Structure 1
């Protein structure tokens, strides 16, 4: 039996003791005992608990791998997430004002991807255990909206209908303004019988759409979300901000940064989370690489009233970034790239010297790297806002205001 002192928390949420030894479910300052194998103490006993340790609010916390930090107090998690972003910036020699973190409430997630499989007695739907392919039922999940948690029996029905005996379905549920949008991957081929069964399931649960491997298999009505003045029918399983509150916090920050700019470029625009709202007060050019998301944005624009000109462009900004001569006409740029960041595009923004940049990110490392590029080109990092819409996880969204001095 080994005794360890936890010094800090790693980026994946595990406690780290000298060695290093990784100890899941622990907090800095705790003394723990247990067996070590391969640099991991998988089943620690807490000898001296941290004052930041709390009872997990979810009854599934010990078995489910969906959350990493339910054992930590809310102030601790908030400080830790802000600290991760601060340290990433400091690694590039950047010090910035860190605004108070905005955290989404429990049971507010509007989208979740469940695993479902057939069993000898029927079917099982839920999340995977940590580091395992075992599916754990989560009927009392404290993360997702109650409408999504209540739909788990429907997901199990899907598995009974469409999962192979040894296979596993991935079922993405999205809570839209007019019902749950269901996107399934990994199921049986969609034949006439399965199509009929899905129709029965849709009527039973009043589902607007069921998609099968990216294609609409059944559509009783288009599932939509209100984005500003627009009604947007998102593609099956499309990326959305995880909570309405988180999206509102991100938009509030972007709106503040871009206020007063008459022309704004929205890069990696998705389905129009920012572009459609920006177009209420500014001329906007929205650029996105995914055709289906751009089509959803365009249709949303067409059904909205009172928007200023909003142009769209399909473009791979990784391989073909907008150049300085194209960016020169904009008073502000919003950029919200995937986790890898957008190094090539940021370099072009720096060369163009666009007056203001709203940098949205979901990865502190690539965010800090791209901010460093802009700072080196003469930009000032005015402030950073961390938005936690992935409660009890190690993830966070970031918005930064950058401007020319």
Structure 2
């Protein structure tokens, strides 16, 4: 057995792989893997910028230099295409979002040893890593973590004392364990903060939350104690700008992870669908693609299952007087049928990670000539893409997009044309 082996590539889950099939976490291409499992760093191995790397489960690839990180993103997409024999005519250079650019995050907050810990979980563990820094999130979110810890402590102290069966305060009882999910999104008005699993009990807790929202200039503060989001603070309607349209933003709604990543995906769709007079935007969400494509020469149908998101898209289109026609429709249970799709010159679809098997079957059976498929999971995308190829489409171009920097999560934009 070789005593030292070179790391040749990074596998889909982030481990380095040697020619003999040995795996090593935290490796980079060109590293040497010793027999005892330790690494000798090679030319592509860099010092991870974050002190939490290796413990926090948010990032897996901070040890890679820019060249290797770019190659990983490109390879994930190229391999998915090659595995299905899709025959892409062109593979564009990958787009990588820069550090400190992610504008939405889901964090966890828990009480631990008399303290409040806010952060991401460790890899393959339920243990939380308290974030003291983060090189992925936008600075506005990172700056909010410390004050948010103090707010949650204040809310715990302000909670009414627990009473016994006869209404008497029970002495010696410690405060209940606190656990909450934290959602943060950077919107047009600032940070939209949602706290799920916690309620403001009593006047003191409510006042503390209002003071916090005011002091930190939050766009909105919502709480969900188990019965849906309730707005605590929203001085003006919260919006996000899509294309050039301000669209209402319901709490917890999906948004592309970074502004530059969104621009890369939208720019691809605009370039590929130039001249299309009618477009169906499927799994449209708030209308990320619909508002960018709609104009004097292009009408867009935006189909979305979530009612509040559908209504927000409709409100944005009505306000901007754009030819975006919003349809409330569950495309998993009730996909657009071939005869409906055949009325459109082109289709854009941006489904969840599971892909869009049923909807793709209908597209394959329609007469639509152009399809832009935005994939957030190369595996499910390649399965759906193979069905389009079988139906007579050809894959004109693939554009890998790494919005989730230093993560193994890779996205793509793809363009199919029917001969």
State the TM-score, normalized to the length of structure 1. Answer: 0.91
Equivalent residue runs for 1:224-235 within 5 Å: 224-235=239-250
* Cross-structure match for 2:182: 171
Q: Is residue 30–residue 44 contact of structure 2 (8 Å, CA) maintained in 1?
A: no
Matched, 1:83 2:75: yes
Distance verdict in 2 for CA 1:161–1:267, change over 3 Å: farther
Give the 3 Å change call, closer, same or farther, for CA 157–324 of structure 1 in structure 2: same
Equivalence map 1:227-306=2 (5 Å):
227-281=242-296, 282-305=298-321
**Structure 2 matches for 1:2-401, cutoff 5 A?**
5=5, 6-16=7-17, 22-33=23-34, 44-46=37-39, 48-96=40-88, 97-120=90-113, 122-161=115-154, 165-188=176-199, 193-213=204-224, 214-218=228-232, 219-281=234-296, 282-305=298-321, 307=322, 309-401=323-415
Cα distance in 2 between the residues matched to 1:363 and 1:158: 37
Range 80-89 or range 206-215, more displaced: 206-215
Are the equivalent residues in 2 in contact too, given 1:126–1:136 (CA < 8 A)? Answer: yes
Question: 1:226 & 1:216 partners in 2: Cα distance?
Answer: 23
Q: Shift of residue 34 of structure 1?
A: 7.1
In structure 1, distance between residues paired with 2:20 and 2:250: 47
Alpha-carbon offset, residue 162 of structure 1: 5.0
Worse-superposed segment, 216-225 or 243-252: 216-225
Q: How many residues align?
A: 393
Give, in whole Å, the separation in 2 of the partners of 1:68 and 1:126: 16
Change (3 A) 1:154 1:298: farther
- Unpaired segments of 5 or more residues in structure 2? 157-174
Hey, what's the Cα distance between the residues in 1 that align with 2:122 and 2:299? 47
Q: What is the distance in 2 between the residues matched to 1:158 and 1:300?
A: 34
| Larger displacement relative to structure 2 (66-75 or 202-211) | 202-211
Moved over 6 A (4+): none
Q: Say yes or no: does 1:404 pair with 2:418.
A: yes
How many angstroms does 1:59 deviate by?
A: 2.7
Instruction: Give TM-score scaled by structure 2 length.
Output: 0.88
Aligned mates of 2:309, 2:144 — CA distance in 1: 26
Report how far residue 112 of structure 1 moved: 1.4
Conserved in 2, the CA contact under 8 Å of 1:139 and 1:150?
no
- Unaligned stretches of 5+ in structure 1? 36-43
State the structure with more CA Rg. Answer: 2
Answer with 153-162 or 372-381: which moved more. 153-162
Q: CA deviation at 1:148?
A: 0.9
C-alpha contact (below 8 Å) 2:60/2:406 kept by paired residues: yes
